[in-house]
Structures are given as C-alpha cells and as structure tokens.
Structure 1
Amino acid sequence: MARMHSRRRGSSGSDKPAADDPPEWSDVEPEAIEDRVVELAEEGHSPSEIGLKLRDEGVQGTPVPDVKLATGKKVTEILEENDADPEIPEDLRNLMAKAVRLRDHVQENPTDHQNKRALQNTESKIRRLIDYYRGDELDEEFSYSVDEARDLI
C-alpha cells in the first residue's frame, strides 16, 4: 500500500514472532506487571514508553518481553481498568506535538515551502484522527486548534 501523502511505497516492517505463552525465563505474576504499568503511568510515561521500560528494566529485575502474553491484556486496557489512561490517545498527542514544532518552524522560516506542506499534511492527519476518536475516546465537542494543542502538550 502506498503512503498517505506521497506516491512512494513503504517498506514492510518485521512481524512479531508467533507465541502463545510467555517465555519460561520471564515468570512474573500478572498482578505485579499490572501494578508496575499503573505505577509507570502515574510517573507520566506513555503506553509505548511503559512497554519499553518493562522490556528493558522489567518488574523486580525480570524483563517482560510482551505484556499482552504475560497478562492477557494490552497496556492501554490495563490503564483503562485502573483509570490511569491518558486524556488523549498517544498517536494524536504525538501528531499534535509535531504540528506545534512545525508551526514554530514555519513562523521563523516563512519561505520554507516544504515544511508548510508538511504542516498541512500533519494537520490533515490530526483532523482525521479526531473524527475517528470523537465520541469514543474524545469529547463530542473536541476540536483541533494550535493554541489548544500547545496547552495539551
């Protein structure tokens, strides 16, 4: 499938190995993993950062290669159950941060047409994501503006 805002095709990514059970060397209790996930979320880490920290640092010194295999739930599901989920989804937050950075750059460099176009494409992606999440994870009256994005980020 081609990329969204260019005519090039992307290279395919690697697939995760097919596994039904967590490895034997990672014998951490699911409750301990869930407690650590909530603890990391309260420290301000995003769901993807939580997964990386569990993979690298682990729980009580034992790494957790895959949270879903170990607990049967995704990191975001664990956060929702414990009311620690972020107010806006992570992908939307990252796009808003990118748009804010691009907006600042374009204001300092008004002749940079390539980044003006990148800003337009990024804001287009933001609007589509807001339509996707509206009502479910975002309020019905949520709308994107640069000032609101600066406040959220």
Structure 2
Amino acid sequence: MARMHTRRRGSSGSDNPAADEPPEWSDVDADDVEERVVELAEQGHDPSVIGLKLRDEGVKGTPVPDVKNATGKKVTEILDEHDAGSDLPEDLRNLMARAVRLREHMAENQQDAQNKRALQNTESKIRRLANYYRGGALDEDFRYTYENAVDLLEDDA
C-alpha cells in the first residue's frame, strides 16, 4: 500500500506471532495485568506506552508479551471497562497535538513552506480520521478546527 502524502510505497509491517495462549515463562494472572494497565493509565500513559511498559517491565517482574493473550482483552477495552481511558482516540490526539505545534510554529515562521505543507497534510489526516471515528468515539457533529483541537487537548491533559 502506498503512503498517503508521498509517491513512495510503504514498507510492510511485521505480524504478531500466531499464538493462542501466553508463553509458559509468562504466567501472570489476568487480574494483575488489568490492575497494572489501570495503574499505568492513571499515571497518564497512553495505551501504546502501556503495552511497551508491560512488555519491558512486566507485572511483578514478569514480562507480559501480549496483553490480549494474557487477559483476553485489548488494552483499550480494559481502560474502557475501568473508565480510565481518554475521550479521544490516541492516534487522533497525537495528530491534533502535531497540528497545534505546527500551527504555533507557522505563526512565528510564516515563510516556512515545508512546515506549511506538513500542516496541510496533518490536518488532512485529522479530517480523514475524524470521519472514521465520527459517530463512535467522536460526536456526530464533530468538526476539526484549530481552536477545537486546542480545547480538546487541554481537556484531555
């Protein structure tokens, strides 16, 4: 599949190994994993960072290679059950934060054509992603604007 805003082809991604159960060296209780996920979320970590921390640090010293194998639920599902998740999806929030930073940079550097193009591309990605999430994770009448993004990021922080 080609990349969205370039003429180059994308690189293929790696696949997770096909495993039905956690490895025998990672015998962590599902409840302990869920508690650790909620604890990390309350510390302000995103779902992707939570997965990395569980992989690297683990629960009680035992690494968790795959949260879904260990608990039967994804990290975001666990966060939704315990009301510890964010109001915005992580990918949309990261793109909005990038757009806000680019907009602030453009206010100081009006002649920066490369970042002007980067801002246009980022806002285009945000609009596409907002269409995808509209009606589910986002309100039906959600529209992206710079002011709206700043307000949402301040509320989410």
**CA distance in structure 1 between the aligned counterparts of 2:152 and 2:63, rounded to whole angstroms:** 32
**CA distance in structure 1 between the aligned counterparts of 2:57 and 2:6, rounded to whole angstroms:** 38
What is the TM-score normalised by the length of structure 1?
Answer: 0.94
| Amino acid across the alignment from 1:6 | T
1:32-111 aligned at under 5 Å gives the runs 32-111=32-111
Match of 1:117 in 2: 117
SS in 2 for 1:127: helix
Identical amino acids, percent of aligned pairs:
75
- The structural deviation recorded for 1:47 is 0.4
What is the TM-score normalised by the length of structure 2?
Answer: 0.92
**CA distance in structure 2 between the aligned counterparts of 1:138 and 1:10, rounded to whole angstroms:** 29
**CA distance in structure 2 between the aligned counterparts of 1:43 and 1:151, rounded to whole angstroms:** 22
- Number of equivalent positions: 153
| Amino acid across the alignment from 1:87 | D
| Structure 1: gaps spanning 5 or more residues | none
| Structure 2: gaps spanning 5 or more residues | none
Deviates more, 1:142-151 or 1:35-44: 142-151
**CA distance in structure 2 between the aligned counterparts of 1:11 and 1:133, rounded to whole angstroms:** 25
Match of 1:151 in 2: 151
- The structural deviation recorded for 1:75 is 0.3
How large is the RMSD of aligned CA atoms in angstroms? 1.2
Match of 1:133 in 2: 133
- The structural deviation recorded for 1:41 is 1.0
**CA distance in structure 2 between the aligned counterparts of 1:43 and 1:148, rounded to whole angstroms:** 25
